[in-house]
Structure 1
């Protein structure tokens, strides 16, 4: 029995500053709307190092001590597992600067929840805001928080 499978590894980070949350208004036509910065994990890169690098590339901010708060998993169009490691960070340095990924802005939680989010991103938000959840599973039949 083969215990290996093709997997795409990615990350996403909610950055906070007092009562504000940094959001990215993505311009990607495949997944547009508000979300948090993040991206793919490169070969031989730790998951934590990848989120620090991705945040820096997309925001020009250097985060420190990001905290892993959950994981999302689903299957892509080729039926390969896709994992997104969710982080939160409130310590950072640098000057905020938008990238080719989209424009950045600070919102309150209430403003975020009333904004046009990326598709299904509202289903991920409990992992960032509610410590009782640490996994979001989408498998075609189910959309479940654990």
Structure 2
């Protein structure tokens, strides 16, 4: 059995400021709805640099010292592993500038609960918010997540 497999590497970052989190309402037809900024890791790029770059591209902000807080993994429609690295950042510079990815808004966690979230994002949030959790894993055979 091979130890190698095809994997898509991505990231997502919860940016916190004044007890609010930065959200993006994605225009993506595959995964629309409210979530945190993030995107794909480019070939040869470090995970840390990829989240800094993606946040800058989607928000206009430059984050500092993003902290890895967890992961999400599942198999995509081609049965390849899809991995999302979850980060949190509390310091940044810049001015918010929405991108073609979607509109941005600072929301309290209570306000976030009232919004239409991207599919399954409500199951990602506990990993960002609870330091006792480190992974959101979909087990496709029984359609459960952990």
TM-score under structure 2 length normalisation: 0.97
Deviation at 1:139, TM superposition (A): 2.3
* Equivalent residue, structure 1, for 2:31: 31
Gaps of 5+ in 1: none
Deviation at 1:51, TM superposition (A): 0.1
Deviation at 1:18, TM superposition (A): 1.4
SS of the residue 2:57 aligns to: helix
Q: How does 1:116-135 map onto structure 2 within 5 Å?
A: 116-135=116-135
Gaps of 5+ in 2: none
* Equivalent residue, structure 2, for 1:93: 93
* Equivalent residue, structure 2, for 1:17: 17
Structure 1: 4+ residue segments shifted above 4 A: none
* Equivalent residue, structure 1, for 2:145: 143
For 1:84 and 1:28, how far apart are their aligned partners in 2?
17
For 2:9 and 2:123, how far apart are their aligned partners in 1?
19
How many residue pairs were aligned?
144
